[in-house]
Structure 1
Amino acid sequence: MTYFDDLGNELTFEKTPKKIVSLVPSITETLYDLNLEENIVGITKFCVHPVHFRHTKTIVGGTKDAKIEKIKELQPDIVFCNKEENTPEIVKQLQEFTQVYVTVVNSVDDAVRMIQKMGLMLNRRVDAQLINHKINLKLDDFKWFIKDFEVKKSAYFIWYNPWMAAGNNTFINSLLTLNKFDNIYKNKKEIYPTIEAKRIRLEGDPDYVFFSSEPFPFKDKHVFEMGRFTHHASAVYVDGEMFSWFGSRLIKSFDYFKSLRERITISTFK
């Protein structure tokens, strides 16, 4: 069996891969939802869903500093990585002793395609079809829900010191667009550009400024600091997993986006 990952790398298997290592939290969750719990042998310290994996699976470091020798000891048949979350160096070292599937997911369509390919590779076609069916139903329902909302300008921050925002060609940006939020940083060259807080009005003067729960845990002091430089923007804390975890998490995300709309009229800057 021959497959190609999202970077065009060829993977060949004589039989269905059984031992799996995931270096991507959202893929770990998706593998679990594909009923592959027994096959998962290694995860990162950031793979927090499902919770019990912290006690039943081998932790192999982080997404950017995975312990290669520890992974090698697990003798995996396949390791799942992501172009954005894992470094090229990690992928190259892993490819020296095992098959590595690198994902590139910048949209809901990409996520659905990823789940379908995982189902084929791992002999979980029916499970993958079921997950994608649920995602597509939720997506269609949300599109109907959001169709009459006015497009509003937004900024979505992921890091502090320095300030960093989600830019174009990111899964976050695609979900902002789906939610009818026009990302003021979508035209930046970098996918996660570094931002000068004092220039936020000049950059686009957003209606909403989103502060993600991950990877940086924003607090009120950060919101107040940014608030000094905004004009009329509303500050909103958001669940970063709902905006950045591709895969089966999307089944929950669209309901979250509905509830988000119910509370973003209140400004925490004022």
Structure 2
Amino acid sequence: MTASVPSIPSSAAPRLTDWTGRRHPPAPDARILSLVPSLTETLFALGLGDNIVGRTAFCVHPADRVKGVKSVGGTKQVNWQKVTAAAPTHVVLNVDENPKEMADEMAARGIVPVVTHPLSPADNGPLIRLLGDVFGRPDAADDLARHFEDALAAIAAARPVTESRVLYLIWKAPWMTVGPDTYIARTLDLIGWRTWAPPAAARYPEIEMTDVVLGDVDRVLFSSEPFPFTEDHLAAFRADHPDHADKAQMVDGEMLSWYGVRATESLSYLKDLADSASASRP
């Protein structure tokens, strides 16, 4: 979704104001269409499962409950007949995951867009509180947000002084990575892993997998999503780039790119990555 930058960042915005600057009156009886997988999970964690009337096919958590909510399509395209049948009053969207045209069409149909755009781990507290306040679960949101913020303070305090350069891969054919102005990059920075990207790159640039690039990084991280990298891709990389074979590593894309309630669990995953890296140093 391409959107104008709001006059104030989300982390400083009033609790009922979304990323676009729109202030939402509380709607505890809202019928929610969630088109962001990590936020579908967060809405369930806030106790709003009964309010969710639609989701995407990629909204797979919590697995034991989300199957009871009908899918209306994907994050980029929806089946408008299914949207109409679900009769939502609100739709939860994200700037990176959903096209602006979709948000505009939802609004034109009388469905209130609640737009999010977390750019760093620190944005998770305000994000959780936004959803909790808009949909009538402020106390649950405060509990989840405080738990996350305590964990974030702890991992930030333990950030190593020595940094590593990492190439974080999100796609193949073409190869794509993440720029520094992304949630993923700022998440990895919590453990001193600085993402490599071409100078003045877009947020999600295409790259050439060359020895020059690989020589400039300490690790090559193959994310499990959005491209479903597997151990077979690591094996192929090692065969093609034997001088850099030991740099290849699989990482859990959900843990490093999902925000909202997942972010607390992600911090534990980050600590495990950092501990493993430290233990493997000669």
Query: How high is the TM-score relative to the length of structure 2?
Result: 0.85
Aligned residue pairs, count = 263
Conserved 8 A contact 1:168-1:188: no
1:76-225 equivalent positions in 2, closer than 5 A: 76-97=88-109, 98-144=111-157, 146-185=158-197, 187-198=199-210, 201-202=212-213, 205-225=216-236
Q: One-letter code of the match for 1:126? A: D
Mark the CA change 1:181 to 1:89 in structure 2 (over 3 Å): closer, same or farther: same
| Displacement after TM superposition at 1:11 (Å) | 5.4
1:22-33 equivalent positions in 2, closer than 5 A: 22-33=34-45
- C-alpha distance in 2 between matches for 1:183 and 1:23: 28
The answer for the alignment partner of 1:65 in structure 2 is 77
Instruction: Structure 1 unaligned segments of length 5 or more: list them.
Output: none
Moved more, 242-251 or 148-157: 148-157
- C-alpha distance in 1 between matches for 2:107 and 2:232: 44
Query: How high is the TM-score relative to the length of structure 1?
Result: 0.89
> Which runs of structure 1 show a deviation greater than 6 angstroms over 4 or more consecutive aligned residues?
none
Conserved 8 A contact 1:41-1:57: yes
* Selected match of 1:51 from 57, 63, 73: 63
Conserved 8 A contact 1:152-1:180: yes
Mark the CA change 1:254 to 1:77 in structure 2 (over 3 Å): closer, same or farther: same
Q: One-letter code of the match for 2:182? A: T
- C-alpha distance in 1 between matches for 2:279 and 2:221: 13
Moved more, 159-168 or 51-60: 51-60
Moved more, 240-249 or 256-265: 256-265
| Displacement after TM superposition at 1:176 (Å) | 1.4
| Displacement after TM superposition at 1:207 (Å) | 0.2
1:210-249 equivalent positions in 2, closer than 5 A: 210-227=221-238, 228-229=240-241, 231-232=243-244, 234-249=247-262
Aligned CA-pair RMSD: 2.3
Conserved 8 A contact 1:184-1:203: no
Conserved 8 A contact 2:95-2:115: yes
| Displacement after TM superposition at 1:53 (Å) | 3.5
- C-alpha distance in 2 between matches for 1:13 and 1:202: 49
Moved more, 38-47 or 14-23: 14-23
Mark the CA change 1:12 to 1:112 in structure 2 (over 3 Å): closer, same or farther: closer
| Displacement after TM superposition at 1:255 (Å) | 1.0
Instruction: Structure 2 unaligned segments of length 5 or more: list them.
Output: 1-14
Mark the CA change 1:230 to 1:191 in structure 2 (over 3 Å): closer, same or farther: farther
Taking every aligned residue pair, what percent have the same amino acid on both sides?
34
* Selected match of 1:20 from 22, 32, 48: 32
| Displacement after TM superposition at 1:185 (Å) | 0.9
**Structure ranking higher in strand proportion:** 1
- C-alpha distance in 2 between matches for 1:52 and 1:67: 24
